[in-house]
Amino acid sequence: MQEYRTLSEKYPSFRERSETTDLIVEISLQPWRAFKPDGVILFSDILTPLPSIGVPFDIVEKTGPIIENPFATADDLKRLTPLNIEPLGFVGDSLRALRSAVGGEAAVLGFVGSPWTLATYIVEGASTSTYKKVKTMLHNDPAVLSALLDHVSRAIAEYACYQIDAGAQAVKIFDSWGGQLPPTDWEKFSGPYIKHIVDHVKGKHPDTPIILYASGSGGLLERLAATGVDVVSCDWTVDLGEARERMGGSSNGPAVQGNIDPTVLFASKDAITDAIKTCVSKAGTSGHILNLGHGVQPSTDEASVAHFFKTCKEQFY
């Protein structure tokens, strides 16, 4: 959004924007004020809690996150600490402010990164397209990776509960790089740790919905549903009707979220409308959160986004 880009010029540090309560609240509310969606998601980053477990990082504009001392051996595990919530107070303050700002007009969502996805950054030290280091550790030092994942999963479970205690009405788990794992590896190095988070959160907040998203997850749908989440968020590479059937059907399986290709928003308004109608016809209007299959891409015309929301509301309301 142009409004966000203008604010970013004034506050060029992403860390400042995502770790300062007033800025978090302002940025979180920008799309809500413009388009009035049914949900307002906390403006943050999946890496935000890492310094609170002993893993400092920085974010370089146009480069992404950087961890200067990535983990490589069992000795590196000694650097990990129990989660310290106190430095994350800006997250709780922001969620409370968002609940107050939107009242009952929208749900306020928190979010966390999955242990596997966070571990990829901790081991790789930066974004990657090959996942060479973390996948090598997976095969050569699985005990080290498992110990890292276990520590991260316990911390993230606590962090998710902290967000709910502060006002989040649902929490979304982003297993952003889960689709990079073969299903058998996902079952060992991602699924169990997500399930630990789900079980922990449900033990303390049984009525709070948990959403799970994994990019490129067409081969993992049944496994995602088996974690016990309430909603599986799908990217645009799967048919939502087929996804529902694979996960137990509309009556027995989780709800679904998605899954319109974000690039459709570069097309005509008629194409956007057709994509929405097709998506709804596949997923149905019950147990379905209509959404894109990933985030809005840069340079998308805001008028097209507005048409997307307007048409969504016409379909459902």
What are the Cα distances from residue 270, in Å, to 37, 84, 265, 294? 21, 50, 10, 21
The range of the structural domain enclosing residue 138 comes to: 2-233
| pTM summary value | 0.96
Tens digits of residue pLDDT in 61-102 = 778 899 999 999 999 999 999 999 999 999 999 999 999 999
Q: What is the CATH number of the domain that holds 177?
A: 3.20.20.210
Tell which residue, 3, 95, 101, has the closest CA to residue 48.
95
| 146 domain residue, yes or no | yes
Cα–Cα dist 297/176, whole Å: 16
- In the sheet with 107-113, reading across from the earlier edge strand, the strands are 39-41, 107-113, 170-174, 210-213, 231-233, 255-260, 288-292
| 177 domain residue, yes or no | yes
The packing angle between helices 142-165 and 89-102, to 10°, is 40
| 257 domain residue, yes or no | no
| 224 domain residue, yes or no | yes
| 280 domain residue, yes or no | no
Phi, psi (5° rounding) for residue 61? -55, 135
- Residue 273 makes CB contacts below 8 A (sequence gap 6+) with 307, 311
| 313 domain residue, yes or no | no
| 246 domain residue, yes or no | no
Find the DSSP H helices in the chain: 2-10, 14-19, 21-35, 89-102, 115-124, 132-140, 142-165, 183-189, 191-204, 221-225, 240-246, 249-252, 269-283, 302-316
Strand partners, 108: 40
Q: How many residues does the chain have?
A: 317
Q: Is 231 exposed, middle or buried, given 0-12, 13-18 or 19+ CB atoms closer than 10 A?
A: buried
Q: Are 104 and 35 in contact (CB under 8 A)?
A: no
* Number of structural domains the chain divides into: 1
Task: Please report, in tens digits, the pLDDT of each residue of the chain (317 residues total).
Answer: 999 999 999 999 999 999 999 999 999 999 999 999 999 999 999 999 999 999 999 988 778 899 999 999 999 999 999 999 999 999 999 999 999 999 999 999 999 999 999 999 999 999 999 999 999 999 999 999 999 999 999 999 999 999 999 999 999 999 999 999 999 999 999 999 999 999 999 999 999 999 999 989 899 999 999 999 999 999 999 999 999 999 998 788 999 999 999 999 999 999 999 999 999 999 987 899 999 999 999 999 999 999 999 999 887 76
| 158 domain residue, yes or no | yes
Radius of gyration of the chain (CA): 19
Cα–Cα dist 175/232, whole Å: 11
> What is the pLDDT, as a whole number, of residue 112?
98
Tens digits of residue pLDDT in 155-187 = 999 999 999 999 999 999 999 999 999 999 999
> What is the pLDDT, as a whole number, of residue 317?
64
